[in-house]
Amino acid sequence: MSFARSVLLRASKSQWLAGQIMSRDFARRAVKRFMPGERVEDALAAAQPLAAAGLGTVITQLGENLTALAEADAVREHYLGVYDLIKARGLPTWPSVKPTQLGLDLSPGACLANLEALAAKAEATGCFLWIDMEDSSYVDRTLDLFRKLRATHQNVGLCLQSYLRRTPQDLATLLPLKPAIRLVKGAYAEPAHVAFPDKRDVDLAFYELSVRLLEAARDGGALPVLGTHDVPLLGRIIARAAELGVKDGAYEIHMLYGIRAADQRALAAQGRKVRTLISYGAHWFPWYMRRLAERPANVWFVVKNVFA
């Protein structure tokens, strides 16, 4: 792991630094590039022109690691309302949630009940529910939640991270469920025995896992979602999909709001399913630091815009 990435990931966990930065105007200007606003209405407003351009969206309220089940109940109620807003606007938008936002640290049973309520609401509104993957300490519990949900709900997908050494085996155990899997590289600080420290190994793992998902998709056994801004890597995977006979509509490409917008539109114009991930909420500091850590060169972009 690079020194800059390590520093940014360490900074993402600092409550003191969050307090110092989040109130500053320059920080809010910088984060605006990646997040249209703190309200769900801001996210849905940003989703509208994307839909007109043929792009779907995934939206998520920032925040994790709650301290009381009442907070998890509030998050559940928030997302239940979000499904109604999406339906009322007729948007091709899917919510994505973190299990810790729904009480995983406090009560796995309560967390599962909250997820079941959201999955049922997604079905009732003709929508979908994505479950995010957090750091490696949550993987087993998150997989357990997903398996239980999939027993009664088909409209639920799960995020997996290619930098974790365990992910190939995790994927193998999930494929019998014919899952929807959003594959990302990973953005948490992890020890080398848990996650690949070298970017080349992470990229190779991403490619190999993507191909495995595409092979399953060829027979209707998975919905692969390629969550990366690495356009050359995407090109290799898309070429492999064509070789395997996997049609463009049988997999999706997800990228973050504010990153490679032109590439997102170009891929959609080529007939591929593309969704833009839009985050919102007041608790944006840890998320923003992790976004910068994915490509530390973005720090220079922020500095330039602060003083522009």
Q: What is the pLDDT of residues 235-263, one digit of tens each?
A: 999 999 999 999 989 999 999 998 899 99
295/292 Cα distance (integer angstroms): 6
125/129 Cα distance (integer angstroms): 11
Instruction: Express each pLDDT in 86-100 by its tens digit.
Output: 999 999 999 999 999
Name the active-site residue from 5, 76, 182, 212: 182
- Start-to-end C-alpha separation, the chain: 31
Neighbours of 169 (CB within 10 A): 10
170/140 Cα distance (integer angstroms): 9
DSSP lists the bridge partners of residue 277 as 58, 256
How far, rounded to the nearest angstrom, does the alpha carbon of residue 213 sit from its chain's CA centroid?
Answer: 17
Name the active-site residue from 132, 170, 203, 230: 132
Residue 6 has pLDDT above 80, yes or no: no
Instruction: Express each pLDDT in 192-235 by its tens digit.
Output: 999 999 999 999 999 999 999 999 999 899 999 999 999 999 99
243/32 Cα distance (integer angstroms): 40
Backbone angles phi, psi at 165, to 5 degrees: -65, -25
* Three-class HEC string of 234-260: HHHHHHHHHHHCCCHHHCEEEEECCCC
Can you read off the two tokens belonging to residue 40? 């769900």
Instruction: Express each pLDDT in 103-156 by its tens digit.
Output: 999 999 999 999 999 999 999 999 999 999 999 999 999 999 999 999 999 999
186/259 Cα distance (integer angstroms): 16
The residue behind tokens 């390590």 is: 6
Annotated active-site residue 105? The verdict is no
User: Which residues make Cβ contacts (< 8 Å) with residue 102, sequence separation at least 6?
Assistant: 72, 75, 76, 110, 111, 114, 115, 118
CATH architecture of 37-283: Alpha-Beta Barrel (3.20)
Residue 296 has pLDDT above 90, yes or no: no
Domain ranges in the chain with CATH number 3.20.20.220: 37-283
Amino acid letter, 83: Y
pTM of the model: 0.86
148/32 Cα distance (integer angstroms): 37
Can you read off the two tokens belonging to residue 46? 């940003």
165/201 Cα distance (integer angstroms): 10
Annotated active-site residue 10? The verdict is no
pLDDT, mean of residues 165-189: 96
154/180 Cα distance (integer angstroms): 9
pLDDT, mean of residues 285-291: 62
